[in-house]
Chains A and B, each alone.
Chain A
């Protein structure tokens, strides 16, 4: 009797721990992935680790942006203000550390967070009192004002050259000097994980739930006792805080913060990143940040037309997949278990062929045009898709146009088949659901 009595509590303790891991399995998996990522073959060079670091910064920034857009319905064209001003706060804090302040570098992002929170509260108190379109325009105005201010106050913002600091001149922990990219990666990975977890938890709290409610129906939110302006002000401040934290990570990574950190361009790209990833799901901005960072860094190595490709990709998402990449993936959730799912995948594969041909044709035209217009000094001979072409001759142009037109034509022909497969999959999924309903 005694034995089982002591065994039972121990078993429940283990059971509780296993339950904890089971409940948070997604977070545990993410933590493990973040830990081993920079050691995976193919990713274990400095360039890759730098890329991963950039993705981490971008992910935190995009998540903070989506607290506003996807979760509360607030469209801000100036979110970089909080990223940048937080970054400036962090870099000044780093300079203080360089000058002798006894705080280790990994704590710098907290200075960024504090800066972002302060500015968020300051501007938020004024902007969140306004209706949605007015709000969006004010954020644009504030963004331009802050950008202009960075040039007018060189002592604070360093003008065009920005403010620099060193991440190696400070108290070291465990002998680490934080100079190498791998160490920077782990600092960023840590803060990114903590930020994502905190933002996720925030959305589960009462005020977080009301953010969603205010997004869906601000009037109804009033009629259940909540002041929508207050809710918006709170989430705005929190979003500013996490944007500032991302700015702090930026300061550590680059050891410099300049006017581009607060600019309209950066505000625009976090918007694009969040939207591409999908603003309707928590994980969307992370997907978008990773995708956009990869495109910006890698694509620009291959082609000078990368911004056009990015723009076309963005437009395709807006026109055909407004739920973003995560929306596209989640769209398949109801049909994943059906037998027809494989049929659907097969139709995708079939449709992919003419689609690729069409894209190749378009890319050829774009690349040739770009070469002629922007880099005429390189001549008209180029190597496209491992084929030598001379853009001065008519043949590449004819071929490219043919590929584009023919590819598009055939691609359109495949659409009904994809649609039909989807319909069958939906039917099967619904039939399965009503079966379960009857069994209850």
Chain B
């Protein structure tokens, strides 16, 4: 191997590698042998018709469920079956389709709680969180990124839907994880809100690996470097957007309705 292709190989190193992942609930198979390579630094979208198993796949990778069979490797370490908090500590962060925030904490506290571990504060109980300069500075920066500085003291539970979605993304990216997974980030948003969200996603995913489930094709084709199509628990195609559009199997299974 020449050094040039070795370099190419390194760039192409997988941040996330799935091999023959299966998941059944009882007797019902939902994920039927998914193998996928997510390249480091790429923006990868997963699309597919409803019920294809996209959220289940997300849940398998992030540790909410355990695969019935198969291997999931993050940065070349096996993560299938280990608890979610350990997966998060290894650098994978995810958002949720149904907003999953801390409703009785303020926006500021929501963000700050999501940076504490990554900054190494762990279970410390000898200093007030208010005195932690790094945590508070990172929180401020994240608030600016998601444009929620004005609402910092509002209780997360009383935010508008779009504000909660922005906070959801904020919590996900604040800790600086290098693999970010976003589950339908623009769900339920108006066109202009979705545009804002796309800009936000574009800026926060610079230099990181992004995996995204989305239904909005405009968002997908605008953001993604590569797209995988999931149908009935199987990946039927993985390719760059222009080739996915022309893929016959994808067209029959999915595109055509938008």
Residues of A within 8 A of B (CB): 201-202, 204-210, 212-213, 215-217, 219-227, 230-231, 234, 238, 440
Flag if B94 contacts A227 (CB, 8 Å).
no
Task: Flag whether B7 is at the interface (Cβ < 8 A).
Answer: no
* In the complex, the 6 A-B pairs of residues with the closest C-beta atoms, listed nearest first: A225-B117, A216-B102, A224-B114, A204-B128, A206-B121, A222-B84
Chain B residues with CB below 8 A from A205, complex form: 124-129
Chain B residues with CB below 8 A from A207, complex form: 123-125
Chain B residues with CB below 8 A from A209, complex form: 109, 112-113, 116, 129
Chain A's nearest CB lies how many Å from the CB of B141? Answer: 17
Task: Flag whether B132 is at the interface (Cβ < 8 A).
Answer: yes
Q: Assign chain B's interface to a size class.
A: 35 or more
Chain B residues with CB below 8 A from A215, complex form: 104
Chain A residues with CB below 8 A from B113, complex form: 209-210, 213, 221, 224
Task: Flag whether B175 is at the interface (Cβ < 8 A).
Answer: yes
Of A202, A216, A230, A234, the residue contacting B105 (CB under 8 A) is A216
For window 70-118 of B, CB contacts with A under 8 Å fall at 83-85, 88-89, 93-94, 96, 100-105, 109, 112-114, 116-118
A-B contact list, 6 entries, CB within 8 Å: A204-B129, A206-B122, A207-B123, A207-B125, A215-B104, A220-B101
Chain A residues with CB below 8 A from B112, complex form: 209
Task: Flag whether B130 is at the interface (Cβ < 8 A).
Answer: yes
Please name 11 further chain A to chain B contacts, defined as beta carbons within 8 Å, in addition to the given A217-B100, A222-B85, sorted by A numbering. Answer: A204-B128, A206-B123, A206-B129, A209-B116, A210-B113, A213-B113, A215-B104, A216-B103, A219-B64, A234-B123, A440-B150
A212 to B105, CA, bound (A): 8
Interface majority SS (helix, strand, loop, mixed), chain B: loop
Interface majority SS (helix, strand, loop, mixed), chain A: helix
For window 187-219 of B, CB contacts with A under 8 Å fall at none
Chain B residues with CB below 8 A from A220, complex form: 96, 100-102, 171
Flag if A206 contacts B100 (CB, 8 Å).
no
Task: Flag whether B62 is at the interface (Cβ < 8 A).
Answer: yes
With both beta carbons as reference points, the residue of chain A lying nearest to B90 in the complex is identified as: A225
Chain B's nearest CB lies how many Å from the CB of A424? Answer: 21
Flag if A201 contacts B171 (CB, 8 Å).
no
Chain B's nearest CB lies how many Å from the CB of A419? Answer: 21
